[in-house]
Amino acid sequence: MSGLKLWGTGSGVPSEILTNEGFAKLVDTSDEWITTRTGISSRRRCAPGETHTGLCLAAARQAMERAGVSPDQIGVCVVATLTPDRLTPATACVLQKELGLEEDTVCFDLNAACSGFVYALHTAQCLLAAATRKFGLVIGAEVLSRVTDYTDRGTCVLFGDGAGAAVLEWREDYPSIHAVLGCRGNTENLLIPGVAVGVPSYIHMDGQPVFRFAVETVPQCITQVLERAGLGVEDVDRFVFHQANQRIIDMAVKKLNLPPEKCTGNIDHTGNTSAASVPLLLDELVRDGAVRRGQRVLCVGFGGGLTWAGALLELA
């Protein structure tokens, strides 16, 4: 047996709050439509001067402080994102400098869209097994407002900005996270064209096929993680879903007969923050005392790629 335990979490939260009522003044929508179709009431957006790197730094510093881990104990730093400040250097490289991580720390960004944080957890587990320093810093961060078309009511009401961080330790006697990662390549239903097509480059999403994909893969992914770990639903203290749509979460809860009180989220005030959504929720749950030392959390992400990812995390 070998694996990870979670020592600390942190958040980087932008200052602007966008309400549903505010969107109703921008596009042809209503608070009623947005809340009933998605569960979202408000989301955060970076104000001028607030950056992706700044959100990452805030989240990372908080997580390291709460974990009681210093920069020279970190062996791996992975940032999951699709909206970094620059294509290169990677955000993780900027964090190496700003946080004072050692120069032989493995630092890079990873793009697995909304599954990114869980992909990064698995990546960190693999890399830390071979590293000399056994603490890892894993961040999910997005400034989706950069790639949001605020004239498209079908997407603009969904997305928010933010960053969440986790400090993890790898040890021989810690449990594996039993990650299940998957991908079904699709360039049509959910994409951001990016530099290949020039600017501006906005999120394009066909909501319904992506919704159906999520409703199919999320319960499967959770079941596979539990099978791999040899555990049942009752052995998990909390399910942390990617916050894309409350209706997707409700359907998974129903299908797997999960206790709803173990599945509460924060989509109402975050919106969909892609790679940041799982670690932001994790941090909120830790801060609220809803997950505590020794407890087991099952994280599940899904989205662009199309990708999905699930993993178990135990709090140290």
**Catalytic residue IDs:** 114, 242, 272
Nearer to ligand UT7, 30 or 70 (CB): 30
Q: How many CB atoms lie within 10 A of CB 312?
A: 24
Nearer to ligand UT7, 175 or 207 (CB): 207
- Work out how close the CB of 220 gets to ligand UT7 at its nearest, in angstroms, rounded to a whole number: 15
- Work out how close the CB of 92 gets to ligand UT7 at its nearest, in angstroms, rounded to a whole number: 22
Q: Considering only CA atoms, which of 56, 55, 51, 45 is closest in space to residue 18?
A: 45
User: Where would I find the H helices in 7-51?
Assistant: 20-26, 31-38
Angle of CA points 58, 59, 63, to nearest 5°: 120
Nearer to ligand UT7, 94 or 311 (CB): 311
- Work out how close the CB of 254 gets to ligand UT7 at its nearest, in angstroms, rounded to a whole number: 16
Beta-sheet strands, E only, within 64-157: 74-80, 106-110, 135-143
Nearer to ligand UT7, 71 or 84 (CB): 84
d(CA 98, CA 57): 8
What is the binding site for ligand UT7 (CB under 6 A)?
29, 33-34, 37-38, 114, 153-154, 157, 207-208, 210-211, 214, 244-245, 248, 272, 274, 303
- Work out how close the CB of 147 gets to ligand UT7 at its nearest, in angstroms, rounded to a whole number: 13
Q: How many CB atoms lie within 10 A of CB 202?
A: 18
Beta-sheet strands, E only, within the chain: 3-12, 16-19, 42-45, 74-80, 106-110, 135-143, 161-171, 180-183, 190-191, 204-205, 238-241, 296-303, 307-315
